[in-house]
Each structure stands twice: as structure tokens, then as C-alpha cells.
Structure 1
Amino acid sequence: MNASDRTPADLLRSALAADPARPLVTFYDDATGERVELSVATFANWVAKTANLLQGDLAAEPGERVALLLPAHWQTAVWLLACSSVGVVADVGGDPAAADHVVAGPGGFEAGLACRGERIALSLAPLGRRFPTPPEGYADYAVEVPSQGDRFAPFAPVDADEPALVVGGERFTGAELVARARADAERRGLADGSRLLSELAYDTWDGLSAGLYAPLAAGGSVVLCRNAGELSGEELAKRVESERVTATAR
């Protein structure tokens, strides 16, 4: 990654320029058997579409707060980078009543109704399936995002020194987030091409760092495992081998 990168969106742009075809996020849900692998290019395309939805349809502006009521999931990772691209604050597990917009998955829909702004619902079903009927008060992400543009340009430049992330009581500017992610990558021994398998939830900085930001900052990739407790030790060992994992976070 480039030393001049100061926001997560900068890190993604650098990854895209370096090697768009390499894997960036490989997601497993061991309760459903789902496996999804996204290259840097595919992930960046999802981020661009989601950022266009956020900036355009939701009219989100830099400095506004988006409550993300979502688990560790590849679509959550997309939303985190989309928020960074627009310059809004990603408030992971934040209070919907204090947020300007809310993005929720199963288990978060009722709480999310406290938000008076725009509300987006994610089914988190395999293949990103639509809801048969969206939850009341929400727009269906799977319906809204496909028609969005494949390229994104913010209406205003994103200030790396403005708030970017809130999680587990910790607050980060974009620049602080990138610096912390780089430090975590070094501490975990991550380098260009590293593959970090993470079983951690996205409700703490450690979980977000291992499950997205540190591998991205290092030029590596993440194998993000949800419900990995469903696996036996032998099954997990086989995954580590088949996915060419070089580091783990459990």
C-alpha cells in the first residue's frame, strides 16, 4: 500500500491499482454453508455501487452518522468502505435514534426503526438474495444497489482528519484508522500477500481490524468466518490449508 494513503478508501484504491484480480475478502458462513470470494475489483465495484446509493439515494453527507446493525459479513465490509468513500461516520452497532441513517440485518430491524432517516435492510442470505417482502420501513439493499453506478466520485473531498468510525466505544478519524490498521498488520506479521483467517465478530476494533482493515493495509486478504464454531478442529485445519492461510485471529 502507498505511504500516502490516509483513509480506508485510499487503501482500497491502492489495492485496486496494485492487483485488481487477487482475492481480498473470502467469506464463510458455517451455519449455512455459504462461501463467497471477492477479488479486489469485485469488492471495489460493490463499494462504488454502495457509495453511490449512500451519497445519491440516501443523500448522506460527510460527517453524518450511519448506524450499521450488521454482523461480520462481506456486505458489512462493503458498507464500511462505502462510508469511508463518502466521508460519513460508520457507527458499528450504534444507536439508531442518534444516527442519520441506518443499515440493518436480521435481528436489527426493530431497533433500526428508531432512526428517523433513511433505512436500508440487508437479508444477508446466500447470494445476496432479496427479501420476499422487505421489512416495514426499510428499502431492500439487494433491490436498490444493482442499478447504481460502477464508478464513484464524492461530491466533496473526504477529510482524513474527520471522524470515520465508531466501534465498541472507540472513535477514529480516517487517518487514525489507517495508522492503527498498519500497526496491527505489523503486529500480526502481515505483509503483501498474507491471508488472515478471522473468526472475530465485528463489534470491536480488534474484530474489524483482523476482519478487514489490517489485511487491507498490508496488501493482504482476509478469510472471514462467521459461525465457525460449527466446525470441528479438523475441518478448520483443512480450511486453513485450502485457503493458504498465513495468520489467524480467533
Structure 2
Amino acid sequence: MNTTDRTPADLLRSALAADPARPLTTFYDDATGERVELSVATLANWVAKTANLLQDELSVEPGDRLALLLPAHWQTAVWLLACSSTGVVAELPTDLSDSAAVSATASSADLVVSGPETLSEARACTGERVALSLRPLGARFPQPPEGFVDYAVEVPGQGDHFTPYAPVDPDAPALVVDGEELTGARIVERARADAAARGLGPGSRLLSGLPYDSWDGLSAGLFAPLAAGGSVVLCRHLDRLDAAELERRGENERVTHTVR
């Protein structure tokens, strides 16, 4: 990857320039049987559309706080990188099952992005609210939740390319996780260090079953493979697999590293 990259969005742009067709994120939900694979180009297109939605439709500005109430999911990765592209600070609660903590995260944010399981807590946000069904292939809600923008309805019409109105400052806050505020530059620095510690490099395939509620989960499930020029096999509800099934997945997906 380019050594001058200083934000996660920079890392994605470098990956797109290097090899847009290679797989970047392969997502499994072992509760539903869903599997989706996104190339660098496909993920970057989702990121661009989402960043345009943030900037043009939701009128965010750099430094605005976005409560990201989503589990480990390919669409969560999209939102994290879209926030990086626009200079929005993504804040993740430490435990999505802790209703009080999730509500507190939402109430202090300028806008909120929620999955179907945290809609009640997301209503604590007085700003814009966006809802994701997290159904296969990014499908919309059968019945849109009241008071929310349905992401799957709004995002398809957004532009395929994104340019921020103002350059994103790598040294500005970009992410709040584990109660710690990280700049874009610090995310990249830590991701590169984690990639080196795990022995990740170009072509590495890291299977992660960690949730996105900690730095370890975000690093393994997105940032470290991206920084290394590798890819991630992101698995939700991985505990539903037995040892033999997990081994078969590793073989089928050409996994080189595993984090659970």
C-alpha cells in the first residue's frame, strides 16, 4: 500500500488503484446462510454512494458525530469508510446488547445509523436517523421504520464517485471505539502495526469472527487487512459452526489467518 496514505479512505483509494477486481470483503452470516463477496471496486462504489448520501442528502460536515449502531457486517465497513471519506467521526458503542449504553451513544450524536435490532435506542438521537435492514444483498425494509431514512432506498441513486467539499484532515478525530478517540492517521498507524504483528501482507486472507465493538474487531475485520493489501472473510454468528465446518470454510475461502 502507499506509504503516504493517512486515512482509511486513502487506504481504500490505493487498493482501488492497485487492483480493483480483487476480493476485499467476503461476508458470512451463519444465522441466515448469507454469503456475499465484494471486490475492491464494488466496496469502493458503495462507499462513494454512502459518502455522497452523507454529504449531499444528510448535510454532514467534517467533525460531525455519527453513532454507528451496527454489528460486524459488510455494510458497517462501508459506513466506516464513508465516514472517513467525509471527515465524520464514527462512534461505536462497546456493546450493542446494552440498551442504555447504545441509547447514550445515540443521544450524544449528530446523526445515527442503526440496524433493525437497535431502532428503539436510535430514536434517542435528535438528528438525522438512517436505518439498515441488514437483509441479504442490502435489501430495503419491507415496511420502512417510522422516523428513519431507509438506507437501501436512498443510496442507489447517489453518485458513483465522491469528492469531499473540503479535504479531510488526517489529524482530526475520525473514530471513537473502546472509549478512545482516534484520528484517521492513528487508525492507519495502528492498522499497519497490527497487520505486521499478524504477519499480513498482499494476498493474505484473514477470517475474523470478532464483533465490531472494539478496536481488535475493527482492525481484524477491516483496517489491518486493508492496510496490508489483503482481504477479510468477515463472519457473523461464527459460533454456530463446528470445528469441521470452520475448517472447510477456511479451505474454501483460502484463509491464511484466523481471529476468533
TM-score, scaled relative to structure 1: 0.99
Counterpart in the other structure of 2:177: 167
Q: Is the aligned partner of 1:224 residue 2:230? A: no
Tell me which residue corresponds to 1:188: 198
Q: Structure 2 CA distance, aligned partners of 1:176 and 1:111?
A: 30
Shift of 1:107: 1.5
Q: Which runs of 5+ in 2 are unaligned?
A: 94-101
Instruction: Answer yes or no: is the 8 Å Cα contact 1:64–1:100 preserved in 2.
Output: yes
Q: Confirm whether residue 27 of structure 1 aligns to residue 27 of structure 2.
A: yes
- The superposition leaves residues 53-102 of structure 1 with CA deviations (integer Å, 9 ceiling, x where unpaired) of 01111001000000000000000000000000000101112611110010
Q: Which residue of 2 aligns with 1:43?
A: 43
Range moving further from structure 2, 227-236 or 210-219: 227-236
Contact 1:170 1:205 in 2 (8 A): no
Contact 1:85 1:154 in 2 (8 A): yes
The yes-or-no answer on 1:79 pairing with 2:89 is no
Q: Is residue 2:109 matched to residue 1:99?
A: yes
How many Å separate the matches in 2 of 1:42 and 1:3? Answer: 24
Sequence identity, in percent?
73
Equivalent position of 2:210 in the other structure:
200
Is the partner of 1:42 in helix, strand or coil?
helix
- Determine helix, strand or coil for the equivalent of 1:85: helix
Corresponding residue to 1:123 among 133, 138, 145: 133
| Distance in structure 1 (CA, Å) of the matches to 2:209 and 2:169 | 32
Separation in structure 2 between the aligned mates of residue 116 and residue 58 of structure 1, nearest angstrom? 13
Deviation at 1:163, TM superposition (A): 0.2
Q: In the alignment, is the contact (CA less than 8 A) between 1:119 and 1:139 conserved in 2? A: yes
Quick one: distance in 1 between partners of 2:132 and 2:184? Answer: 25
Aligned residue identity for 1:117: G
Q: Give the AA of the match of 1:199.
A: G
Q: Counterpart in 1 of 2:147?
A: 137
* SS of aligned partner of 1:224: strand
- What is the alpha-carbon distance in structure 2 between the residues aligned to residue 15 and residue 127 of structure 1? 23
Distance 1:229 1:134 in 2: 31
Helix, strand or coil at the partner of 1:161: coil
The match for 2:243 is 233
The 1-side partners of 2:92 and 2:197 are apart by: 24
Following superposition, the deviation at residue 210 of structure 1 comes to 0.1
> Alignment partner of 2:116: what SS?
coil
Q: How many Å apart are 1:188 and its aligned residue?
A: 0.5
Query: Pairwise CA RMSD of aligned residues?
Result: 0.7
Tell me the CA shift for residue 135 of structure 1. Answer: 1.2
Aligned-pair CA distance for 1:232: 1.1
What is the match of residue 60 of structure 1?
60
Q: TM-score, normalised by structure 2?
A: 0.95
Q: Distance in 1 between matches of 2:144 and 2:70?
A: 16
Structure 2 equivalent of residue 215 of structure 1: 225
Distance 2:201 2:72 in 1: 23
Residue 76 of structure 2 aligns with an amino acid whose one-letter code is T
CA distance in 1, matches of 2:177, 2:148: 23
Distance, in Å, in 1 between the alignment partners of 2:74 and 2:11 is 17
Return the offset for 1:3: 0.4
Shift of 1:168: 1.6
CA distance in structure 2 between the partners assigned to 1:134 and 1:110 by the alignment: 14
- Count matched residues: 250
Helix, strand or coil at the partner of 1:108? helix
